[in-house]
């Protein structure tokens, strides 16, 4: 700790100036500097100055150093100040936090900067110079590694530790399976089920059967196809449908009004084939396939 007494005028922290006979109360400064050794890059050095100032003087705050970079070695990070009244005037306490930004390759001694504090008063103001403070900086590591065995050359990387990931992979597989269950349910509800229902509609089933038949297929197969189309009409009407019920069916389901005439022809031809003993000709077979396709299109449009 360095104690400085100022009588008047300009005084260095290293000594005392000549006192003016008219000034009866001097400025007393106590400077607490950080230790002068053992500092490294990144360290914060705190410097505290306590000033006992007579009542006739007031510290000019504009003369206090402000935070900022100081050269390439230090940065003044924070400045604190406080004061309280005393019997002889005021006691100021100033704190300065310096951070080290220099990383030397070998030990070096640097100086915290000096500065001058000004005091306003009557009959005149005074100044106090705070001298530099030496601090020793040490390197983080020596420039060259020691030549001892195992330290002088670049060492190979340490092999990575082998970890058994089988439990984690099994757990991830279980989580993935659990996550797929709701996705599979949604796919079934919104994709699979509607697709399956469309394929199970009456005219859709009849169309699959007719599309796979040749016009020259045996008569029994075509009569069976005719029965399939009868079943599709009955399932669509939700009752047994015949020629006399076509108008009622069309009234209930107007979409089929476009094939009303063809439905009447269908029942007329059915009567000839099943009760009149007449076999369906090739033209009848092609007509049945076309009639089924038109009913299928109407069924699909109502979906």
Residues in the chain: 303
* pLDDT per position as a tens digit, 173-188: 999 988 888 877 666 6
What is the residue-averaged pLDDT of the chain?
A: 83
Mean pLDDT is lowest, of 9-23, 153-167, 172-186, for: 9-23
At 16, is the pLDDT very low, low, confident or very high (cuts 50, 70, 90)? very low
pLDDT given at position 9: 41
pLDDT given at position 39: 92
* pLDDT per position as a tens digit, 234-279: 888 888 888 888 899 989 889 889 989 998 998 888 888 888 777 7
Query: If you ran DSSP here, which 8-state letter would residue 61 be given?
Result: G
The answer on pLDDT for 15 being more than 80 is no
Cα separation, 290 vs 215, in Å, equals 12
The answer on pLDDT for 58 being more than 60 is yes
- Cβ-contact 200, 167 below 8 angstroms: no
- Cβ-contact 278, 272 below 8 angstroms: yes
pLDDT given at position 4: 53
Residue 43 CA: distances (Å) to CA of 49, 72, 122, 134, 188: 20, 15, 42, 15, 66
- Cβ-contact 149, 156 below 8 angstroms: no
Percent of the chain with pLDDT over 70: 82
pLDDT greater at residue 281 or residue 109: 109
Tell which phi-psi region holds residue 150, choosing left (phi > 0), alpha (psi between -120 and 50) or beta.
Answer: left
Phi, psi for 52 (deg, rounded to 5): -100, 105
């Amino acid at each position: 700790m360095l104690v400085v007494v100022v009588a008047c005028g300009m005084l260095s922290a290293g000594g005392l100036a000549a006192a003016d006979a008219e000034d009866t109360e001097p400025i007393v400064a106590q400077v607490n500097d950080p230790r002068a050794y053992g500092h490294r890059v990144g360290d914060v050095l705190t410097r505290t100055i306590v000033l006992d100032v007579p009542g006739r003087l007031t510290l000019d705050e504009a003369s206090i150093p402000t935070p900022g970079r100081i050269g390439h070695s230090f940065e003044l990070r924070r400045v604190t100040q406080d004061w309280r009244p005393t019997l002889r005037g005021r006691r100021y306490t100033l704190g300065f936090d310096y951070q080290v930004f220099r990383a030397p390759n070998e030990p070096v001694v640097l100086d915290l900067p000096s500065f001058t504090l000004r005091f306003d008063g009557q009959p005149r103001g005074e100044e106090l110079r705070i001298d530099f403070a030496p601090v020793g900086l040490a390197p983080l590591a020596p420039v060259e590694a020691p030549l001892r065995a195992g330290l002088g050359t670049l060492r190979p990387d340490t092999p990575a530790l082998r970890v058994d990931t089988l439990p984690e992979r099994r757990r991830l597989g279980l989580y993935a399976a659990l996550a797929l269950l709701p996705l599979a349910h949604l796919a079934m509800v919104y994709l699979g089920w509607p697709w399956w229902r469309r394929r199970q509609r009456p005219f859709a089933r009849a169309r699959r059967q007719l599309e796979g038949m040749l016009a020259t297929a045996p008569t029994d197969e075509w009569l069976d196809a005719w029965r399939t189309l009868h079943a599709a009409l009955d399932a669509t009407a939700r009752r047994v449908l015949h020629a006399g019920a076509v108008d009622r069916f069309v009234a209930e389901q107007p979409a089929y009004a476009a094939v009303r005439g063809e439905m009447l022809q269908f029942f007329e031809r059915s009567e000839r084939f099943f009760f009149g003993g007449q076999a369906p000709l090739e033209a009848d077979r092609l007509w049945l396939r076309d009639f089924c396709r038109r009913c299928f299109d109407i069924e699909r449009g109502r979906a």
